[in-house]
Amino acid sequence: MSPAGTWNTLFSLLVPAAAMILFSLLIRSERLALIPLLLSIGTVSALMGLTQIAVGGRSALYTYAVTNAGSPVGLFANGNHQAVFLASFMPLLAVWSVAGPAASRNGRMVASTCLWLVFAGIIYLTGSRAGIALGLIGALLAVVVLVREILAAQSSAVRESRGRLLIAGMVGLAVVILATAVMCTAGHCSAGVMVPNAGEEMRFRAMPTMLEAAKAFWPFGSGPGSFASVYQIFEPRELVGPHYLNHAHNDWLEVVIENGLLGVAMIMTVVGIIGWLCVCVMRVSVLDWSVRLALCFPPLAMAAASFLDYPLRTPLMAAVAAVWLLFMLDIPRFAHSAAHQRLRR
């Protein structure tokens, strides 16, 4: 249905494929730097979003021509993608803070708490419901990781100092949420959280039409990258307007529409791989169960967000997801190696 769209889809796979190849060439010590690297990218995107809010819409800080002007989109064109990207990293902030030498953990907890507050504020300012929901889950998981780390500390003085840091972080989070809520009420947000905009409402109204398209092209599909052209064929008159759908805003459904039975097989394969990797990580008994859950959170969050949007169609998110799945393969070996080194000491 859309040869150009099919070629574009195939070429878009080069980004995650290249990221996986480059990651596989790294040595063990370099792979361990993945979490700090991803948190650094998230920090850059979050700070860029703050600057976008401060400067205002349609500034040079928005790197895409078609974007959510006035929203803290960061490195993305869409505020929803920014929110999901940052929400996926919320538990990793806690994992990073409890990793490494014990002497540096207090400093890491301070840094991760500050980033935690920045991420939470940006997620709320985007107005993304999926991002906020995933951010709350990620924040709760991060708290569990930190609480269990505090309770595991042998020194009562260490437990007290880290406990105070955690309490300060929780208070700061409440202040950030309250402040951003006031900003949105005053009109400084591009999208409110409680009131859906016309574009979001259109996604749900178009669902029966997209299901009709999936049924019409079953079992072979309409072809990769053809959704926009196909939707125009089935789009009812009452949905025609200034807002348009370039994607289904349900990536799982779009894969089925474009690829039919093969798309279902692809989905089952991806779900199976993610499930198998999560099981492998959850079996690493040398890690606390909360840390294991935190390490499984990023791909699960992105997969869940794909029911309401298309975050994995962005080059950055696709590359991060692909590399993280490879990293999950290394987690059991890294964890057991670290445990053996501690025993030798």
Tokens 């409402």 correspond to what residue? 201
> What integer pLDDT is reported at residue 50 of this predicted model?
86
Instruction: Report H helices in 58-155.
Output: 79-98, 105-126, 129-152
> What integer pLDDT is reported at residue 201 of this predicted model?
63
Q: Which residue has the higher pLDDT, 311 or 172?
A: 311
Does residue 150 share a domain with residue 59? yes
Does residue 255 share a domain with residue 171? no
Does residue 160 share a domain with residue 240? no
Does residue 249 share a domain with residue 134? no
Dihedral sign from CA coordinates of 217, 222, 227, 231: negative
Domain that holds residue 251: 1-30+196-345
Mean pLDDT score, 111-138: 86
A 10 A CB-CB count for 244 gives 13
Task: Please say whether the beta carbons of 51 and 102 come within 8 A.
Answer: no
Q: For residue 213, is pLDDT > 70?
A: yes
Q: Which residue has the higher pLDDT, 84 or 206?
A: 84
> What integer pLDDT is reported at residue 156 of this predicted model?
59
- Give per-residue pLDDT as tens, 247-295: 888 889 899 988 999 999 999 999 999 999 999 999 888 888 888 999 9
Does residue 342 share a domain with residue 230? yes
Does residue 203 share a domain with residue 177? no
CA 343 from chain centre, in angstroms, equals: 36
Q: How confident is the model at residue 343 (pLDDT cuts 50, 70, 90)?
A: very low
- Mean pLDDT of the chain, nearest integer: 81
Q: For residue 95, is pLDDT > 60?
A: yes
Domain final residue, candidates 195, 211, 241: 195
Does residue 129 share a domain with residue 183? yes
- Give per-residue pLDDT as tens, 247-256: 888 889 899 9
Does residue 284 share a domain with residue 218? yes
Task: Please say whether the beta carbons of 256 and 307 come within 8 A.
Answer: no
Give the predicted TM-score (pTM) of the model. Answer: 0.83
Q: Which residue has the higher pLDDT, 100 or 160?
A: 100
Domain final residue, candidates 152, 173, 195: 195
Does residue 103 share a domain with residue 68? yes
For the chain, the C-alpha Rg in angstroms (whole number) is 21
Mean pLDDT score, 78-104: 85
Q: Which of 152-156, 245-249, 303-307, 319-323 has the lowest mean pLDDT?
A: 152-156
Instruction: For residues 333 and 319, give the distance between their C-alpha atoms in angstroms, rounded to a whole number.
Output: 23
Does residue 234 share a domain with residue 165? no
Instruction: For residues 123 and 136, give the distance between their C-alpha atoms in angstroms, rounded to a whole number.
Output: 10
Q: For residue 192, is pLDDT > 70?
A: no
Tokens 């997209």 correspond to what residue? 210
Q: For residue 112, is pLDDT > 70?
A: yes
Instruction: For residues 317 and 89, give the distance between their C-alpha atoms in angstroms, rounded to a whole number.
Output: 12
Instruction: For residues 38 and 89, give the distance between their C-alpha atoms in angstroms, rounded to a whole number.
Output: 8
Coil, strand or helix at 204: helix
Domain final residue, candidates 176, 195, 214: 195
> What integer pLDDT is reported at residue 191 of this predicted model?
46
Q: Which amino acid is at 177?
A: I
Does residue 66 share a domain with residue 136? yes
Instruction: For residues 81 and 198, give the distance between their C-alpha atoms in angstroms, rounded to a whole number.
Output: 18
Does residue 169 share a domain with residue 244? no
- Give per-residue pLDDT as tens, 6-59: 888 888 899 999 999 999 998 887 888 888 899 999 999 999 988 888 887 677
The number of folded domains in the chain is 2
> What integer pLDDT is reported at residue 157 of this predicted model?
55
Q: For residue 309, is pLDDT > 90?
A: no
Q: Which amino acid is at 14?
A: L
Secondary structure of 210-257 in the HEC alphabet? HHHHHHHCCCCCCCCCCHHHHHHHHCCHHHCCCCCCCCCCCHHHHHHH
Mean pLDDT score, 203-209: 78
